[in-house]
Structure 1
Amino acid sequence: MSELDEYHQNLMADIRREADASGIFPVEAFFDRMTDRLTEAGELEVADRAYFQSGEGGQKLRIDGYAGDPRDSEGVLGLIVCDFADSDNVQTFGKGDVPPILNPLIRFLKKAKTEEFRDSLNEANPAFQVSDLIITTWAQVTKVKLILVSNRQYIGRDDAVKLAEIGDVPITWSVWDLARFERFDLKGSDEIEIDLNGDFGGAIPALKASRSGDALESYLMIIPGSQLASIYDRWGEKLLQGNVRSFLQARAKTNKGIQNTIRNEPELFFPYNNGLSATANAVACEEGSNGLFVTSISNLQIVNGAQTTGSLHAVMKTAAEQLQRVFVQMKLTVVPFDRAEEIVPRISEYANTQNKVNAADFFANHPFHVRMQDFSRDVIFARREGERHDTKWFYERARGQYINARPKTRGRAQTDFDIQFPKPQLFSKTDLAKFEFSAAGHPHIVSRGAQKNFAEFAKDIGETWSKNDAKFDELWYRRLISKAIVFRWLETEIPKQPWYEGGYRANIVTYAMAKVFHDANGEKQVLDLDAIWRRQSVSDALKQALLLAAGEANDVITNPPAGVRNMSEWAKQQACWNGLKGRSLDYGPEFDGCLVLAENARTNERDQRKKKREIDGISAQSEVVNRGADFWREILELGMADRKLTPKDQQILQVCASMPRQLPSELQCKHALSVLERLREQGLVSV
């Protein structure tokens, strides 16, 4: 069995399990799963399901989803259509098969632009919602992006080409097929191959800024503004290093000052602008009579200069002539794929220092995420009632970790892994952010999409972490899993409710969870999260409360105020959350059993921290003793020779060096290890 066959088999098993558990159609489960990848890859900022189909043959209309309000994405209107084959074997399709899939979507777009079509539909119909949004925003639409999402393998070429235009608005299409999703799930990024000679007007002159044999290659380049704008027009926000992209989605994307310089003083753009910092997995170069030229770039990622790039693209049509006179400096570092996670975040952090952004805004290897990963590999949860094995929850802080950790060869090792880390207990950074922000009372932010929600969540975590990282201990992680259990249970149960008419499931889930947590948590009592992780399930009383809140959430979301027609966009507003938050619900007397005294919850936190301090002290003492007296005598001598030790440092290291005559206390051992770490950071020791 090939890797693609195995990926397809696992994907279909996951989709069928999700569909069966939730009572939804497999294509809906497929849409939800794969559009998460699209937003993470930067293909779209958000993906809202809006299924509609009518007619046959040449009259067929179809849409599966859209990418939110185009005014929030620089005028790009994203429309999604699914090509889903419910098959056990990998199916293929070629370029000739694309028009029958995309033409119904194009016909839908043309119809949706007309008030006649919109007014012929019920306002609750998803097609009405999309049509009304298109009519309302069409004057601001600069480009239409059609996304074909398929679980078949695409064997054509040139998957993103210009199709047609509606007036002055260009239409492009892009295929995300089975193989492309597999590459993304394994590597955590989408392949970007930029052929400068073939597609973008010519190679770029470059000066090599590294020597042969250096660990990394670096180049200084001067790129024409029109060329950079064209590259961004083709690849969009996928060019922005993923974590930076998340950060920027919470801030202004283009700079009016930069645009004014382009329009009025293009020749001054180069001296005024700081330029770009970028990385790539590989570059191709050629020597010409005038020096070195870069001819192609693999997986270009702009880690600093997103506003510059976005501003150049924003004036691509309105100031095309001036753009020809603009030049941008770019520092390009070639980082091999296997070192990307280590190097790229550092380049991003140092290049973006003027933004004063905490590292948690950016990086999957921030200590918070690393700590959550460590907990997820170590913390065992008792088996649910009726099950035979204890399990763990697998935190995937970087895309591909789960697939790469799972043994490739079928047999006992793979079975043991699947028992230890069941697939339904896999969760990512964006999942974690959804769990936390739903419980914290931010369902309107969660509804704005995984990446925007993560950007806001990262800001909160960064600020809290810098003040007190000790808060994020094992008990915090266990309570996080309780929130995950509640969230995942709601996802499966809402589609089964008699009041559910399809659509807005993701919005209802986060709103219902936020409502129950808001109503439960007060000064004297809070929701008993510890009871949820102990039993690894939701109690009957809590289930009843969550479904009651879900019904109310559905009512608030699907009945927006006068003048508001798009329910998905309504769910993204603070006013929507205020509407549900202000409703009084009677959860019944049984709900009291789901609560615990707030003081008892705080006592559990204090006990956990005390236990951690004891464990840390024992571990520190064990490490100091195992290293031996000779080791600490050498550290003492090195530190004193370089005058790096305080009197207290010397005194404690002397105790460690006199073992076994003297045995350092737990506190002394913790201090000795901190001294060792400090000397290591200063380059005095390497152990």
Structure 2
Amino acid sequence: MNELEEYHQNLMADIRREADASGVFPVEAFFDRMTERLTEAGELEVADRAYFQSGEGAQRLRIDGYAGDPRDSEGVLGLIVCDFADSDTVQTFGKGDVPPILNPLIRFLKKAKTEEFRDSLNEANPAFQVSDLIITTWSQVTKVKLILISNRQYIGRDDTVKLADIGDVPITWSVWDLARFERFDRSGQAREDMVIDFARDFGAPLPALKASQTGAALESYLLIVPGEQLAAIYDKWGARLLEANVRSFLQARAKTNKGIQKTIKEEPELFFPYNNGLSATADAVSCVRTDDGMAVASISNLQIVNGAQTTGSIHAGLKSAKEQLPQVFVQMKLTVVPSDRSEDIVPKISEYANTQNKVNAADFFSNHPFHIRMEQFSRSVLFPARAGERHDTKWFYERSRGQFVNARPKVKGKAQTDFDIQFPKSQLFSKTDLAKFEFSAAGQPHIVSRGAQKNFAEFAKDIGESWSRSDAKYDELWYKRLVSKAIVFRWLETEVPKQPWYEGGYRANIVTYSMAKVFHDANGEKQVLDLDAIWRRQSVPEALQRALLLAAAEAHDVITHPPAGVRNMSEWAKQQACWNGMKGRTLNYGDDFETCLTLVDTAKAAKRDEKAKKAMTEGINAQAEVVTLGAEFWSGVLAWGRERKRLTPKDMQILEVCASMPRRIPSDLQARHALDVLGRMRDQGFGES
């Protein structure tokens, strides 16, 4: 069995298991799972399920979902259709099979633009919701993007090509097939390399000045990019130019800067002196010699890590200021970063280049200390076996895509079985999952409803600011309570579709809203939800289950009954007003709900106990490190510090104890102080030759 066949087998098992557990159709479970990848890869910002099908043959209409309000995506209307084969073996399809799949989606779009079609549907019908959104926003739509997601392998060669126009609006399509999803899940690589060939596709090579010496650790170049070329490149490659995490951070796809737009329209010749330019990275650069000197002929995997607003504004100029664009030029600082170093280098370039935002851009990357700490906890913290099960387990935190797949032993046998027992697939969660769990519990369901990337961006701002003040609260107990929130969230995801009031659709919104409501109502001045009881039993208590389902029914009512003048329920769920309406409703959870709560003082006592345990562990580790370094080493530290008069009386007293080992052994507090002194001495030159 090759890797693709194994991936297909595991994917189908996961989808069938989720469909059976939740009582949904496999294609719906497939849509939810795979659109998470689309948003993470930057193909879409959000994916809302909106299934509709009618007619036969040449009259058939079909849609499975859409990518939110196009006004939030530079006028790009994204529509999604599923091609799902419920098969145990890998199926294939070619270029000729694409039109029968996409044509029903195109026919739906044409129908959905008409008020006659919209008004023939019930307002609760997802097709009504999409049609109304299209009619309302069509005048601002600049491009239609059709996305075909399939669990078959695509053996055609074309990816994104023009299909047809509706009026002046171009339509493009792209395929996310089994192989593409497999590449993304294994390594985060969703596509083939993106090679921008300036000479062949964008007019001419770009004049460049090499800004690094021969043999430097990283190659760097300075370029002047014509506005027309940059706009054309962005028009072709779009979000692929903007690293997904940084794009979310900068909100690059939101409304572009009015000042930049004004300069393009009114003073295009002054754009270069006014604008700070772009900072970008690439895997590789190909240079040529021209009569005018060095020029960049092609760039592999260009990423604009700072200057997304500038890029978006210049691209908008294709429509709003086409005549002025030839006079627009922008400078670019380009650094060649090998792919194996990108996770370390690119975040730093983004952080240091970015001057428009106070929050650290690197907070969005998988190598931020917060994510590393959560990963460490996830590999070491054991949770008790659930009732009826024999094995303790761990929750696997995947801080970067592909970690789980690559950590699982490839060859079947005892090692693979042991891994599956220790890390059940149902206990795998990602950065965006973590953000959903936390923000649902923190009373931000309207932000969670805006999609995984936008929610993660907001969450990361909070974490970045909190971490910079103090990282102490993100300890093992915080992690365990995070897992409690994950257990509640995942339980709701499974149970909501089974409820008699559930009509299909809006599951994700109902889950986050009901969880937020229960946490909001439970957490007061004297009592809070007992999260510690949840992680200890690894399940949701029955009294809490009843409360969550009561809140879920209420959330369904709030979301599906928006105020007058609001028709799109998915968009309604993204508004603060929707959460205010839900928050203000009074629910009677029953007397046994009290059993799910604990006193605030008790919860704080658990936190104090965790701090004491951590301090003790750190003390033991410090003692071990001091002893390992040895008395002779500490004698050297003492002599070096005394000679340069860098030690306080307390420093000397403790270092003398360390230097007299094993006759005297430093206490854990003394050991920690000695290590602090050592760090200070090293900062001042100790140990340097």
The reply to whether TM is greater than 0.5 is yes
Aligned equivalent of 2:98 = 98
1:78 alignment counterpart: 78
Q: How many angstroms apart in 2 are the aligned matches of 1:328 and 1:88?
A: 52
Matches of 2:648 and 2:345, distance apart in 1: 34
Equivalence map 1:93-132=2 (5 Å): 93-132=93-132
- 1:597 aligned residue (573, 592, 599): 599
Matched, 1:514 2:516: yes
Deviation at 1:543, TM superposition (A): 0.8
Q: CA deviation at 1:628?
A: 1.2
Question: 1:364 corresponds to which letter in structure 2?
Answer: S
**Among candidates 338, 344, 347, match of residue 342 of structure 1:** 344
Deviations 1:53-104 (A, max 9, x none): 1111111111010010111111111111111111222222222211111111
Q: 1:180 to 1:639 in 2, by over 3 A?
A: farther
AA matched with 1:240: L
Please report how far the alpha carbon of residue 37 of structure 1 lies from its aligned counterpart in structure 2 after TM superposition: 1.1
Q: Is the contact between residue 185 and residue 399 of structure 1 (CA under 8 Å) also seen in structure 2?
A: yes
Q: Does the Cα contact within 8 Å between 2:350 and 2:362 map onto a contact in 1?
A: no
Q: 1:200 to 1:26 in 2, by over 3 A?
A: farther
- 1:150 and 2:150 matched: yes
> Which residue number corresponds to residue 670 of structure 2?
668
The residue number in structure 1 matching 2:22 is: 22
CA deviation after TM superposition for structure 1 residue 283, in Å: 2.5
Partner residue, 1:304: 306
- Aligned residue-pair number: 687
Compared with structure 1, are the counterparts of its residues 670 and 46 closer, same or farther at alpha carbon in structure 2 (3 Å cutoff)?
same
Q: Please tell me whether residue 215 in structure 1 is matched to residue 220 in structure 2.
A: no
In the other structure, the counterpart of 1:205 is 207
Q: CA RMSD in A?
A: 2.0
Once the two structures are superposed, residues 185-216 of structure 1 have per-residue CA deviations (whole angstroms, 9 ceiling, x without a partner) of 22224443323333333322222223343322
**How big is the shift at 1:642?**
7.1
**1:224-623 maps to which residues of 2 (within 5 A)?**
224-249=226-251, 253-358=255-360, 361-623=363-625
Q: 1:202 is matched by which residue type in structure 2?
A: A
Distance 1:176 1:622 in 2: 52
- Fraction of identical pairs, as percent: 79
Distance of 2:84 and 2:688 partners within structure 1: 54
Q: Is the 8 A contact 1:548 1:587 kept in 2?
A: yes
| TM-score using structure 1 length | 0.96
Residues 523 and 10 of structure 1: is their aligned pair in 2 closer, same or farther, counting only changes over 3 Å?
same
Query: 1:266/1:638 Cα in 2 relative to 1: closer, same or farther (>3 Å)?
Result: farther
Q: After superposition, what is the alpha-carbon deviation per residue over 1:317-368, rounded to whole angstroms, capped at 9, x for unaligned? A: 2211211121111111121221111111111111114422135642221111
| Deviation for aligned residue 1:384 | 0.6
Task: Give the equivalent residue in structure 1 for 2:138.
Answer: 138
**Alpha-carbon distance in structure 1 between the residues aligned to 2:637 and 2:417:** 46
Asked if the contact 1:360/1:368 (under 8 Å) is kept, the reply is no
- Measured in 2, the distance between the counterparts of 1:251 and 1:603 equals 45
Deviations 1:485-538 (A, max 9, x none): 000000001111111110000000001101111111111111110000000001
Q: Do 1:197 and 1:203's aligned partners in 2 also have CA atoms closer than 8 Å? A: yes
Q: Is the 8 A contact 1:656 1:664 kept in 2?
A: yes
What 5-or-longer segments of structure 1 have no aligned partner?
none
3-state secondary structure, aligned to 1:77: strand
Query: Do the aligned partners of residues 83 and 644 (structure 1) sit closer, same or farther apart at CA in structure 2, a change above 3 Å counting?
Result: farther
- Offset of 1:686 from its aligned partner? 8.3
Report if aligned partners of 1:243, 1:361 keep a CA contact under 8 Å in 2: no
SS at match of 1:355: coil
Kept in 2, the 8 Å contact 1:360–1:459? The answer is: no
Give the deviation of 1:603 after TM superposition: 0.9
What is residue 5 of structure 1 aligned with on the other side? 5
**In 1, Cα distance between equivalents of 2:332 and 2:686:** 36
The 3 A distance-change label for structure 1 pair 278 and 557 is: same
Shift in CA distance, 162/515, structure 1 to aligned 2, threshold 3 Å: same
Q: Could you say which residue in structure 1 is the equivalent of 2:635? A: 633
In structure 2, how many angstroms separate the alpha carbons of the residues matched to 1:378 and 1:575?
41
How do 1:181-196 and structure 2 match up within 5 A? 181-191=181-191, 192-196=194-198
CA contact (8 A) 1:280 1:333 kept: yes
Aligned pair in 2 of structure 1 residues 412, 500: CA closer, same or farther (>3 Å)? Answer: same
Return closer, same or farther for 1:200/1:179 CA change in 2, 3 Å cut-off: farther
CA distance in 2, matches of 1:340, 1:686: 30
In the TM superposition, residue 679 of structure 1 has moved relative to its aligned partner by 5.2
Q: 494-503 or 200-209: which moved more? A: 200-209
Asked if the contact 1:361/1:455 (under 8 Å) is kept, the reply is no
1:141–1:471: structure 2 CA closer, same or farther, 3 Å change rule? same
Name the TM-score, length of structure 2 as normaliser. Answer: 0.96
Q: Is the 8 A contact 1:253 1:306 kept in 2?
A: no
Show CA shifts across 1:284-334 (max 9, x none): 333334333323222211111111111101111221121112111111112
**Structure 1: which amino acid aligns with 2:40?**
E
In structure 2, what is the equivalent of residue 51 of structure 1?
51
Q: Match of 2:324, SS?
A: helix
Question: 2 CA distance for matches of 1:25 and 1:283?
Answer: 47
Contact 2:634 2:659 (8 Å CA) reproduced = yes
The answer as to whether partners of 1:250 and 1:456 remain within 8 angstroms in 2 is no
- Contact 2:246 / 2:361 at 8 angstroms: preserved in 1? no
Kept in 1, the 8 Å contact 2:283–2:337? The answer is yes
Q: What letter is aligned with 1:665?
A: S
Rate the CA distance shift 1:679–1:201 in 2: closer, same or farther, 3 A. Answer: farther
Q: Give the direction of change, closer, same or farther, for the CA distance of 1:10–1:636 in structure 2 (3 Å limit).
A: farther
Aligned counterparts of 1:237 and 1:643: Cα–Cα separation in 2: 57
- CA gap of 1:126–1:397, structure 2 versus 1, over 3 A, is same
CA deviation vs aligned residue, 1:8-56 (integer Å, no higher than 9, x gap): 2221111111111111111111111111111111111110000001111
Q: Distance in 1 between matches of 2:680 and 2:240?
A: 39
Q: CA deviation at 1:673?
A: 2.2
Gaps of 5+ in 2: none
Q: Secondary structure at the match of 1:503?
A: coil
Shift of 1:637: 5.2
Specify the SS of the correspondent of 1:386: coil
